[in-house]
């Protein structure tokens, strides 16, 4: 417990110290988040390099406290570095094509799966499927990593949203790893939550700094790495037999906000003949913004929804895996239908 508290504090303090320096640096060189301003929900002239503080604080805390000779740790640190730097390149220079980001994310996913052994090896009976072949496990795991990394990037459109959801996701996995007795992954989770907490001090209300693609993709990769490791660990070391077979549903519940929004937006874009990575204003946070909610309200609504879904998943542990995941998605669909209905209703009201 002391190590977990220590890694949280180290990451938090380092991030809090570094962000003002980064803001001054961005002011000097005018490195602002003014690209694609038409689909942003914030003002002009704000630093987008908050991810630099998150990444450096996280990496330093990991190097101090983790065994870097462990393949699991090495794979995670390499993949986070690869994803962060392609995001940072876009944050500083711009012009990085979506296909280039996906290629780098694919490379990071390959490192995770084949070096760190972060993979989905079983479907736990979902749709009647149990053990997966090596090829199926690798393909599914790599695809899942790439999707979740982009899903976190998608929700980074409102002050505090990606950071708050990232905090909830990783503190949840940290607690689960603590219960499963995996100190290494618990340190990873608490390390990134400390860095995120330090970042949110400057970003949550009327953000003075944004995490940028580097930060959001970094958090997404660590989050999905934790989810994949949780599936493996819970299958090997069951503390509660009632929820052992529901591990994928628990992981989904923790990641529900970026996952559901990502699936919904990608399907919507494909149905309109657009690239799944084409920017637009169809995300859930954009809909809530249109309804008149402030940034703080949007963050609180989606954060509470995330926590409520997680509580719901544990409360419905008597269901089988297929039924539980079906219920979780039905709740999300109803939530989305309600928001869409309110949005359309507002459009019909004369201004």
Query: Binding site for Mg(2+): what residues are annotated?
Result: 153, 213
Residue with token string 């939530």: 335
Contact 131, 153 (CB under 8 A): no
What three-state secondary structure class fits 180? Answer: helix
Tokens standing for residue 165: 């959801």
- Residues at the binding site are 153, 213
- The alpha carbon of 344 is separated from its chain's Cα centroid by a whole number of angstroms, namely 29
**Residue 115 DSSP code:** T
Q: How far apart are the first and last CA of the chain?
A: 56
- Residues 41, 44, 46, 47, CA torsion sign: positive
Contact 187, 7 (CB under 8 A): yes
Distance CA 347, CA 30 (A): 38
CA geometry: angle 209, 214, 219, nearest 5 deg: 95
Secondary structure element (H or E) that encloses residue 35, with its range: none
Question: By 3-state DSSP, what share of the chain in percent is helix, strand and coil, each rounded to 5?
Answer: 75, 5, 25
- Residues 149, 237, 313, 200, CA torsion sign: negative
């Amino acid at each position: 417990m002391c190590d977990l508290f220590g890694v949280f504090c180290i990451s938090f303090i380092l991030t809090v110290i570094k962000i003002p320096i980064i803001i001054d640096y961005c002011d000097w060189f005018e490195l602002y988040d003014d690209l694609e301003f038409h689909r942003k929900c914030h003002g002009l002239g704000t630093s987008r390099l908050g991810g630099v503080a998150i990444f450096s604080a996280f990496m330093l805390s990991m190097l101090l406290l983790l065994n870097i000779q462990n393949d699991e740790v090495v794979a995670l640190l390499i993949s986070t570095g690869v994803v962060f730097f392609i995001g940072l390149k876009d944050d500083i220079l711009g012009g990085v094509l979506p296909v280039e980001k996906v290629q780098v994310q694919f490379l990071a996913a390959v490192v995770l799966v084949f070096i760190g052994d972060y993979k989905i090896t079983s479907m736990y009976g979902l749709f009647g499927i149990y053990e997966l072949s090596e090829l199926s496990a690798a393909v599914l795991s790599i695809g899942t990593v790439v999707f979740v990394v982009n899903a976190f990037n998608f929700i980074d459109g409102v002050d505090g949203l990606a950071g708050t959801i990232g905090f909830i996701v990783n503190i949840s996995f940290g607690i689960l790893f603590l219960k499963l007795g995996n100190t290494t992954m618990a340190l990873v989770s608490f390390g990134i939550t400390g860095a995120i907490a330090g970042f949110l001090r400057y970003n949550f209300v009327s953000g003075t700094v944004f995490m940028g693609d580097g930060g959001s993709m970094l958090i997404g990769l660590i989050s999905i790495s934790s989810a994949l490791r949780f599936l493996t660990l819970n299958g090997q070391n069951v503390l509660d037999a009632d929820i052992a077979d529901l591990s994928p549903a628990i992981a989904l519940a923790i990641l529900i906000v970026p996952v559901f929004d990502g699936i919904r937006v990608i399907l919507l874009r494909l149905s309109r003949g657009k690239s799944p990575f084409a920017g637009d204003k169809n995300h859930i946070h954009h809909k809530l913004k249109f309804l008149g909610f402030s940034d703080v309200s949007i963050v609180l609504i989606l954060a509470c929804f995330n926590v409520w879904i997680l509580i719901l998943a544990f409360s419905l542990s008597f269901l089988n895996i297929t039924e539980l995941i079906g219920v979780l998605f039905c709740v999300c669909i109803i939530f989305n239908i309600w928001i869409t209905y309110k949005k359309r209703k507002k459009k019909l009201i004369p201004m």
